[in-house]
Chains A and B, each alone.
Chain A
Amino acid sequence: MEIGLHLWPWHSIKELMDYAQAARREYHFDHIWLVDAMQYEDAFTALTAMAMNIDASLGTMVTFPRRNPMELAQRFSSISHLMPEGRQVVAGLGSGGRLQESVLAEGTSPEKVSVVKETVSFLRQLFAGQSVELGQFPLLASRFNYNLDAKARLYFPPQGLLPVYLAAGGPRMFQLAAQEADGVILTQINPWTSLAGMRAGRFRQAIDTIESTLKASGGGRRIKRIYSAKISVSQDGQAAKQWAKRQISYGAATYPKALKELGCDADEIESIRLAYVQGLGIEEASGRVSDRLAGQLGFVTAGTPEECIAGYEEILDHLEGLGFDHLVMGVPLGPNVTEALKLITKKILPALKSRLAR
């Protein structure tokens, strides 16, 4: 199984570079992934810097269709031209979330599946070097003011394959990933695919949906399966658990309806959601997450290295036999990223070595 490392632009671009370089020195991560979010460091600029300095494949995990896909295609494609031999850049795409979109208008997040579908198709056609009729993408055209009578193409298409992986968090997105994308990203910060979702059998349902859709599409189509496991680790287990609340708040605000259905406290979820909607920022939102809710959601594996190893063992049990290609050690990583990377590379990944080799 490939192992990826996931970083969040909550750090300066130079720190992100340092973290990625240090992590690669300590462990042969196949892939470095960056979260794309508005207002923080620019993920694509950070990926550009990494492409020129780090021998690993790169990608967004994830960007979102409130950025103009014509620009996304252009940016990914240019970064691909800077990649080291044998490495690739991957467009990881999701439907967006509260954090990315706190500055964007209420009522449009997460994206409608139809918009995501157009975005995946548009990106894949441009990445394949095709000339694309903009009139075939009416939703994108309406949102981004495309000229319906014109065609678009990349005059410098990507070097090698540039796959589009879709982060999917519900039945229609599972189907869409299987139908349209080159890979599917299932993330721990989602009610279907969290540890709680795994325990409740929802994860298995997600995989069944993906497999039945692939089967229905015929032709032996295979897509890459990526699991993005979220970790917050520190020798100070309590600090790690507190730090995890940043990510948990983000997940809680993104899926309020599903979480209420799972029996989570509706008022608490709404209060977290409003922190994003009102532009109060992640600090305020994470302060609104109770320990009880954090434990109930299972969105982040948090605690001491030993606690995290146990959490990962359980996740790997659930992934067993489901054809996963890639496991991501995902954000938030820990209250002190340098310490967290050391613990992940020196303690956690070595402890999981035999499991990961299966």
Chain B
Amino acid sequence: MAIEVGAQFWPWDSIKSLVTYGKKALQEYPFDFIWMCDEFQYEDCSTILAAMAMNLDVSVGPMVTFPWRNPLDLAQRYASIAKLARPGRGVSIGLGVGGAVQVQVTAEKRNPVSVMRESVQLMRGLLAGESVELSRFPQLANRFRYNTKTSARLYFPPPERVPVYLAAGGPKMYEVAGGHADGVIYSQLVGRTSLRGVQKGLLKQAVEAVDAARNRSDDANRPFKKIYNIHISVSRDGKRALDWAKRNSSYGLSGTSIRYPEVLDTLGLDRKEVGFVAEAYLQGLGVDEAAKRVSDDLVKKAGFVIAGTPEECTEQCLELKGHLADLDFDQLVIGVPLGPEIPEALRLLGKEVLPHLFP
């Protein structure tokens, strides 16, 4: 089966611009999915996706949302959005641990593995139309004050399956993804699965770990999707594209520094240099300050974002695709930041980069 191709946007633009970008993306390339990053404080991800589901002929989903939002609420949102999708299209949920941007306004800085596992299980149960006993989810019940004497269900479950994919960046999360989710998302913005991590064979190890966990699970034969989220910043002005990549690079580097500092050593990155970037988020100084702390050299060395002219991006994407070739991926997501000028980036991706990747 041909690999699906998704496009990913970030709510750093207004909702009307994002819907327009979604439309333009589909004019430039027949993307199967449009994914939105979920963030506090920016435009609301689920509102954007509802607008896109109604107006665009494409499947949609968050890539990724996070369990600082109540999974009961998330299941409700995405079940409703699924009913707005065009015939043959649907909704999927990408869930992750949350990153440096969200962490700024939350006191509890981490989402433990148990919270992630419970979130996947609760949402899968609800979205399958099941009545779910809330006492089975003690971590979530504690965090969101569920009534553990009762059950929850969606009175209007989605018309088609809404799968829950887990963005996994380390061994414990590989275990949860393989054991409980409908699929796994490997992101270039995470140390082990960055371009540098892929070159060092860490993605292959990750895929093997998830497959092994799935094979050990009670439901080993369930449909299971493998998704790789490339992050790209492209422009005719290669330097500008590189500078723009620093925002997302800062975000990914910070997440790896906070959660998997030992991976920085494996990738040959300086913990101190990366820690300085992470501090910008931890001190609430925001993405612009964090991005300023990322040097050109660090963007290139880390390989968290593919950045440059269309030719430079094509070359790196082809290298990445080569590494993915034998790992049976189902979907490749062309992800944020896309480029300093989104319309230009969409045009370049659709006309100059993707035709080389998927001739």
Task: Report the minimum CB–CB distance from A285 to chain B (whole Å).
Answer: 13
For B141-168 the 0/1 string (1 means CB < 8 A from A) is: 1011111111111111000000000000
Q: CB distance A103 to B134 under 8 Å? A: yes
What chain B residues lie within 8 Å of A106 (beta carbons)?
A: 147, 149
- Answer whether residue B35 sits at the interface, using C-beta atoms and an 8 A cutoff: no
Q: How far is the CA of A143 from the CA of B151 in the complex (A)?
A: 22
**Residue of A44, A77, A146, A155 touching B77 (CB-CB under 8 A):** A44
- State whether B15 touches A78 (Cβ < 8 A): yes
Q: Which residues, 95 to 121 on A, are CB-close (under 8 Å) to B?
A: 101-106, 108
Shortest CB–CB separation between residue B127 and chain A, in angstroms?
13
Which listed residue, A14, A103, A134, touches B105 by the CB 8 Å rule? A134
Residues of B within 8 A of A49 (CB): 50, 54, 84
Determine how close the nearest CB of chain B comes to the CB of A93; give it in whole angstroms.
16
Q: State whether the Cβ of A153 lies closer than 8 Å to any Cβ in chain B.
A: yes
Fill in one digit per residue for B203-224: 1 if any A CB lies within 8 Å of its CB, else 0. 0000000000000000000000
Q: Which residues of B contact A146 (CB under 8 A)?
A: 105-107
The answer for the CA separation of A103 and B134 in the assembled complex, in Å, is 8
Q: Total A-B pairs in contact (CB under 8 Å)?
A: 157
Establish whether residues B147 and A78, one from each chain, have CB atoms under 8 Å apart when the complex forms. Answer: no
With A45-B77, A148-B107 known as contacts, the answer to whether A39 contacts B152 (CB < 8 A) is yes
B83's nearest neighbour on chain A, judged by CB, is A13
Give the 6 A-B residue pairs with the shortest CB-CB distance, closest first: A279-B150, A42-B80, A45-B80, A78-B47, A78-B44, A48-B50
- Can you sample 17 A-B contacts with CB below 8 Å? A13-B83, A39-B72, A42-B77, A42-B80, A74-B41, A77-B43, A78-B43, A82-B15, A82-B51, A103-B152, A106-B147, A108-B145, A147-B104, A147-B107, A148-B107, A152-B40, A155-B41
Q: What is the interface of chain B, defined by CB distance below 8 A to chain A? A: 12, 14-16, 40-44, 46-48, 50-51, 54-55, 68-70, 72-73, 76-77, 79-81, 83-84, 104-108, 134, 141, 143-156, 284
11 additional contacts, CB 8 Å, given A71-B44, A105-B148, A156-B15?
A12-B156, A39-B155, A42-B46, A48-B51, A49-B50, A67-B73, A78-B43, A82-B47, A103-B134, A148-B107, A152-B105
Instruction: Spell out A's residues near B (CB within 8 Å).
Output: 9-10, 12-14, 38-42, 44-46, 48-49, 52, 66-68, 70-71, 74-75, 77-79, 81-82, 101-106, 108, 134, 141, 143, 145-156, 277-279
